[in-house]
C-alpha cells in the first residue's frame, strides 16, 4: 500500500464531489414585482395635453397657436 501524506487525505477532492448548481434566477424579477406593487403612481400618458394642443391648432391658425403656446 502506498503512503498518502495526511494533508492530502483530509483535503476535499473537488473532482469527486459534484459542484452545486443554482437554478436560473432572474436578478430583475424581484425588482419588477416590487415595482408592480409599488404605491408610487406610474407616469400616465399625456393624452389630455395632446388633445388640448390639437384643439388649439384646429381652432386657430397654426402660426397663432404656436405663438400663443411659446409665450
What confidence tens digit (pLDDT) does each residue in 4-18 have? Answer: 666 655 555 666 667
CA-to-CA separations, 42 to 7, 29, 48, 52, in angstroms, rounded: 61, 18, 16, 22
The overall pTM is greater than 0.75: no
Q: What is the pLDDT of residue 5?
A: 63
How many angstroms separate the CA atoms of 9 and 1, rounded?
A: 14
How many angstroms separate the CA atoms of 42 and 33, rounded?
A: 14
Q: What is the pLDDT of residue 24?
A: 78
How many angstroms separate the CA atoms of 62 and 68, rounded?
A: 10
Amino acid at each position: 500500500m502506498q503512503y498518502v501524506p495526511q494533508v492530502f487525505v483530509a483535503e476535499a477532492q473537488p473532482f469527486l464531489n459534484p459542484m452545486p448548481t443554482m437554478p436560473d434566477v432572474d436578478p430583475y424579477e424581484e425588482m419588477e414585482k416590487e415595482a408592480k406593487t409599488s404605491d408610487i403612481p406610474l407616469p400616465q400618458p399625456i393624452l389630455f395635453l395632446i388633445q388640448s394642443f390639437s384643439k388649439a391648432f384646429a381652432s386657430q391658425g397654426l402660426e397663432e397657436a404656436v405663438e400663443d403656446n411659446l409665450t
